[in-house]
Amino acid sequence: MHSKLILNSDNNILFTLIKLQKHSFCEIFGNYISRKSGQKCCVYGQNGKPLKKETVIKFLENMQATNSYEIQKAKNLSDFRKSLKLINWTPNEDYTILTRTFYFKNVFYLTDFIKEIYNTDYSSNLQQIPDVHVLKKELLKIELTTPDLKGLSMKDLQLAFALNALNYQKYLLYPIKDEQNFKKEIRNISLLEQEERENSVNIQERTKLKNKYDALQYEREEESKKFNSEKFESLLSENFKVENSKNADLKFKEVDELADQVGKEVEFGDSGCCSPEGTCACKKASKYQL
C-alpha cells in the first residue's frame, strides 16, 4: 500500500515536470509568479506599482474631451445639463484616488443607483468594488482605488469610464464640484432646475397652441373643399346664359347666310320673316324664329 502511494506521488511529479517543459511558470500560474527576476508578482500587470500621475492626468483629459463631444452631439440638452455633464472625476493630491460626489434628492432612488454601480462593476468583470459613502444625508461619494497597489490601476480607470456612462438624471442625482461648499451648488441647482421646468412648461404650452392653430387651419381647408350648392347654382346659371347667347348668335348667323343665298334683304319681325304669311323668299328662314 505504501509503495502505491510512492508510485502515485512519482507520477504526479513526472506529470508536473512534463508540463513545466512545455509552458513557462507565468503561463501556468499567471501573474502571481514574476516573469522576470526582481519583478514583483502583480495581478494588475503593473509590477506592484500604482499608475503614474501623468497617466491619470491624460486619462482625465481624454474623458473630459469625450464629455465635450457628447455635449456637442446632444442638440436638445439644456445649458444646465451641459454644465453638470462637464463635472469630471477628481483626483487627490498624489493621484492615488479618484472621487466623484453627487447630490441626491431621493434616498430610495439612491439605493437603486448603488445597485447599478455594483452591477456595472460585476458585468464588466473588473471586480474592483468601489467604495461608496453617504455624507451629510445629501451627498453620495464614490471612491476608486486599488489598495494592493496603494494607488490606481487600469481597472480603476476602466470602471470610472463605465460609471460615467450611467444615467444620473434617472436617479435624480446631480454631480458636485466642491464637496466642502456643496450648499451653494445645491442652491444653484435648485434655481436652474426650476428655470428648466418653467421653460419646459412654456414649450409645452407653445406646442399646444401651435397644434390648435394647425387644427383650425386644417378644418378651414377641409371646409373650403366641401360642396357649396348655392355657389354651384349661381355658376350654373351664369354658364347657361353664356351658352344661350352663343346659340342665339349662331342662329342669327345662319339666317343671314340663307338670306344672302336668295339675294333678299331680311328684316326680322315678330315672326322671324319679312311677311306675316311667310311666303317671301326667306320662307326657309322662318324655322329659325327666335
Do 125 and 161 fall within a single domain?
yes
Assigned domain for 229 exists: no
Q: Does residue 264 form part of some domain?
A: yes
Kindly report the number of other CB atoms within 10 A of residue 279's CB atom: 11
Would 196 be classed as within a structural domain?
A: no
| Predicted local distance difference test score (pLDDT) of residue 261 | 59
HEC readout, 162-208: HHHCCCCHHHCEEEECCCCCHHHHHHHHHHHHHHHHHHHHHHHHHHH
Which three cell numbers, joined as nine digits, stand for 15?
506529470
User: Does 6 lie in the same domain as 80?
Assistant: no
Residues 66 and 158 in one domain: yes
Q: Which grid coordinates are listed for 226?
A: 366641401
The whole-model pTM stands at 0.56
- 115 and 22 both lie in a single domain: no
Between residues 241 and 21, which one has the greater pLDDT? 241
What is the structure's pLDDT at 262?
55
> What does the pLDDT read at residue 175?
92
**Domain-located, residue 211:** no
End-to-end CA gap in the chain:
145
pLDDT for 192: 79
At 175, phi and psi to the nearest 5?
Answer: -65, 145
Residue 249's domain comprises 242-288
113 shares a domain with 70:
yes
Report pLDDT for 114: 93
Q: pLDDT digits over 79-132, tens only?
A: 778 888 889 999 999 999 999 999 998 999 999 999 999 999 988 888 888 999
Taking a C-beta distance cutoff of 8 angstroms, is the pair 264, 281 a contact? yes
C-alpha cell recorded at residue 265: 334683304
- Predicted pLDDT of residue 266: 47
Residues 9, 68, single domain; the answer is no
The total number of structural domains that make up the chain: 3
